Chains A and B, each alone.
Chain A
Amino acid sequence: VAKTTRIYLASDFHAAEKTWRKFLNAIKLNVYKADIALVAGDFTGKAIVPIVENGGTYSAELFGVHRRAGSAEELAALERDIADVGYYSVVTSAEETDRLATDPAARDELLHRLMNERMEQWMALATERLGGGQVPLYVIPGNDDDFGIDPIIDNDAYFPQNADGRVLDIPGDLQLLAYGWSNNTPWDTPREVTEDELFERLDALAAQVRDPRRAVFMIHVPPHDSGLDTAPLLDENLRPTVSAGDVLRGPVGSTAVRRVIEKHQPLLGIHGHIHESGGERRIGQTLCINPGSEANHGILRGYLVDIGPSGIERALRVEG
């Protein structure tokens, strides 16, 4: 291997339109001079904002602020604003909004549809902007992503490659082990297993790796007690515990991921999941990185990692 390979990684976009567009442009415009791009999971959003139509005007509430649109252009701007913060919007009537409020199944169905629509749009946009380019984009779903998006990111017509549950050869004489599931969380998200099960799956994948010192383990959930997994400690009502004006925090990562990293000592660990715990830490010989996420604020957080013949040359946090 003669040259340095630069990996550009980000995670946890959570349906934030603007940040995803920035990410694609960062690759397309060669802002970071990356050779490989990676996304460590969690594409889908968390909420729907109903836009209520009433006599040709549209109204919605975004972050406690009442918004009104009186024309098609203003409606489009409102929808884009809602999408930029990672919410889904639906134009509906007051009656339908009331019905949704009392019908969990209908909300569930609507959310599925909106998630899949956004994912289709994103994969299409990625293909439009990056197709034919020199920078491969490997992605995985995260624990928050419903299984409905899998066929979309698996679609060969789209440029991004779904690396979930696989070990792939990637440029730079490197291998990528990728896995989007997490340990059990209080939230009962779609892709969760017990720590033992997670370890077995990851260990089996790691056995396929030729040389861990030339391997990148992209696992959505960070290793337990690594400093990359510090999140608010929750009470029995899933509310963060607060004291003296500050949220009490603790490690919520996976012990299975930590065990796999300690056992196999890959060159690089790439994680996401805990948005507020971005940073870089060493576990043995492995440099583990969580870029963190502020996607819902329109801020694109990422990391650049330069890997040369003798290992990692530098890691640099970037923000766009």
Chain B
Amino acid sequence: MAEMAESGTGRRLFVRQSSGLVRDVSVTNALFFNIAAFVGVGLTLYPIFYSLGFVPVWTYGPFSEYGWAAIITGLFCCVLAFIFASFTSVMPRSGGDYVFTSRILHPFLGWMESWTLIIASVLIIAFEVPLVLRNLQITARIVGIGAGGHFFNHANTWFTDSTGGITGSPGFIGSLVVLAIIAGVVLLPTRTFHKVVTALAIFGVACFVAMFVFGLLATSRGDFEHNLPQYTGGVTAAKIGATGHAAFLPGASHHFLSDLFSRSVFPFMLSILLFQYIGFQYSAYIAGEVRGNVRRSVMIALLGALVVGVLANSVYVDLISKHLGFETNVSWGASYWGFNSNLTALPLGQPNAMPLMGVIANKTLWPIWALISLGGTVFPFLLCPVYINFISRMQLAWSLDRQLPTWFGEVSERLRAPVNAILATLALCALFAFFQSYNALPHFLATTGNKLNLAGTAWFSITMAILTWTMPGVNAILVRFRRPDLMRNAPFRGALPWLGIVWLVFPVWVYVFAVIKPIWDSLTASGASRLTYLETNGILDAAIFYALGVVIYAVMQLRSRAAGVDTGMLFAEIPPD
């Protein structure tokens, strides 16, 4: 007879020793998983995100508009954390949102939500991969500035074509090499994979801390402004900052509340923050393995990740940016995206990476800046295999539910992973990298050079994530009616509909004013530029993938029916009594 033992919580449960149902992911592990999933290029490149929304960036009190957006988004995401904590307590499953929505509402909605999330995630990978190359260039430039050497000082020519763009043929080949290395990591045996990911993540986190400490204590704005012109052909920090005054820098907020409730500016900033935060909830997808009180553990992991996210996107980036010149940072970042027409020549030919600014301000510490920049290369690289791993789990769940052919989710005997799903994800990443590199898109999809630009990729991803952000709220409102059996003992079950409503207010507000209204305005505009907004922001591409999702679902339904599979049986709810 198996031995019985007390639980760690006293005399509340007597557990017998037996096999199966092992749950032992610690809170720390879950927290770490979330952080690894959302930091990406931000570690060194957060300042470039000030201008990604292409809207004016005001400041109020200690924070920029971006920082305030990070705080407000973080507060609302706390509500989402409560919803996930409740769902995962009663449905701790692999597959996350796909499982929740398909079981609570309808398999079609579950499919569409997860399909669009996967495309959004693949786009984030496509967004990150060229920035891995950028960070390699930046790291080399830091070495060049610190130690000299033609090879390093001309790193801007690495991976670039004749136009200097990193997304031409050399950039595409470089991206394929990065994707191949990512594939190599993803397909490593499980133990080795986790060792590699852990080592890289520890290095990345150490770089985070180093950038914050050395960035604030070992540099001064005076030194930065004094030294900058020698690397920019005489362009001063003040001049860079001045280029953004007309479009990006209205100065301090004069009406803080009015600015927060703006329907034309602030929602864009909030949508950028949603783009930055996606991933903070991913440990909810491994909740089946979280030990102890699932609700408490998931809450701590999600809220902890949010705290890190808020601090990184407000205190961390705002303090360092203000320390070295806020206006310079905003205008320089806008120039990187191609939004700043007053600063067409990108300073140093690079985005305003924090360690790059650090080496300009304090050259003697170049080895530290180079190491931090290398961390900035590692974190986006690290995000990719973590995403692909997560995506393959969801694809496996699809395959088991006959949303995709079974061969798609087959697990390789040798590699212990759904290789076809992983390869499909990598192929899709390569496809997006291709469209970022070559003028291959039809004119109606990309009027500017027939290619997908990086900002367009980011907005494409934001558009694809609508269902990911909204469906948890809908599920929270409807679950008590749709699956009362599952929710009878769920944490916060009484409050869930209200949590759902409160949460929904946020993404609906953001998406209505940052995505849908601009689309509507664009469609109702007159003239030849009617579709320009949709083309340059990936909206049409997103529409194609939404339509593709519907088509795949319909085809698989027909295919299943032809094979004699009654998909209605898959999720038939059976009454226990």
Contacts and interface: CB of A to CB of B under 8 A. Distances in A.
Interface of A: 12, 14, 17-19, 21-22, 25-26, 29, 31-32, 42, 46-50, 60-65, 81, 87, 97-98, 100-101, 104, 107-108, 111-112, 143-144, 146, 185-190, 225, 227, 230-232, 234, 238-240, 242-250, 273-276, 278-281, 293-294, 296-300, 304, 306, 313-314, 316-320
B6 interface: yes
Interface string B409-444: 001010010000000000000000000000000000
Contact of B20 (A17, A22, A275, A280): A275
Given A22-B574, A246-B29, A294 B11 contact: no
A31 B32 contact: no
Contacts of A238: 17
B448 interface: no
Given A107-B4, A317-B401, A230 B574 contact: no
A251 B75 CA distance: 42
B289 A187 contact: no
Identify which of B22, B191, B413, B485 gathers the most chain A CB atoms within 10 Å of its CB. Answer: B22
A158 to B, nearest CB: 20
A303 to B, nearest CB: 10
Given A247-B25, A314-B563, A47 B15 contact: yes
A302 B530 CA distance: 53
Contact of B574 (A31, A87, A234): A31
B576 interface: yes
A50 B12 contact: yes
B217 interface: no
B491 A243 contact: no
A21 B577 contact: yes
B16 A245 contact: no
A12 B20 contact: yes
Given A29-B574, A108-B4, A143-B19, A247 B33 contact: no
B564 A313 contact: yes
A314 B560 CA distance: 11
Interface stretch (B53-61, B84-92, B223-231): B84-92
Given A49-B12, A111-B4, A65 B569 contact: no
Contacts of B163: none
Given A227-B413, A231-B22, A244-B198, A279 B13 contact: no
15 contacts: A46-B18, A64-B293, A64-B296, A100-B11, A104-B4, A144-B2, A188-B2, A227-B413, A249-B416, A279-B400, A293-B21, A299-B91, A316-B566, A317-B402, A318-B572
B221 to A, nearest CB: 38
A49 B489 CA distance: 16
B486 interface: yes
A276 B24 contact: no
A98 B186 CA distance: 50
Given A232-B22, A246-B286, A227 B411 contact: yes
A239 B13 contact: no
Interface string B198-240: 1001000000000000000000000000000000000000000
B93 interface: yes
B400 A245 contact: no
3 shortest A-B CB distances, which residue pairs? A245-B33, A64-B293, A243-B194
Given A50-B14, A81-B489, A98-B11, A318 B569 contact: yes
A292 B552 CA distance: 27
A221 to B, nearest CB: 10
B295 interface: yes
A226 B30 CA distance: 28
Contact of A62 (B16, B26, B489): B489
A314 B90 CA distance: 31
A32 B569 contact: yes
B190 interface: yes
Contacts of B11: 50, 97-98, 100-101
A242 B29 contact: yes
B527 interface: no
A314 B416 CA distance: 24
Nearest to B560: A316
Nearest to A27: B574
B564 A101 contact: no
A61 B572 contact: no
Interface in B255-295: 283, 286, 288-289, 292-295
B570 A243 contact: no
B489 to A, nearest CB: 6
B400 A107 contact: no
A230 B12 contact: no
A146 B389 CA distance: 39
B36 A81 contact: no
Contacts of A29: 574
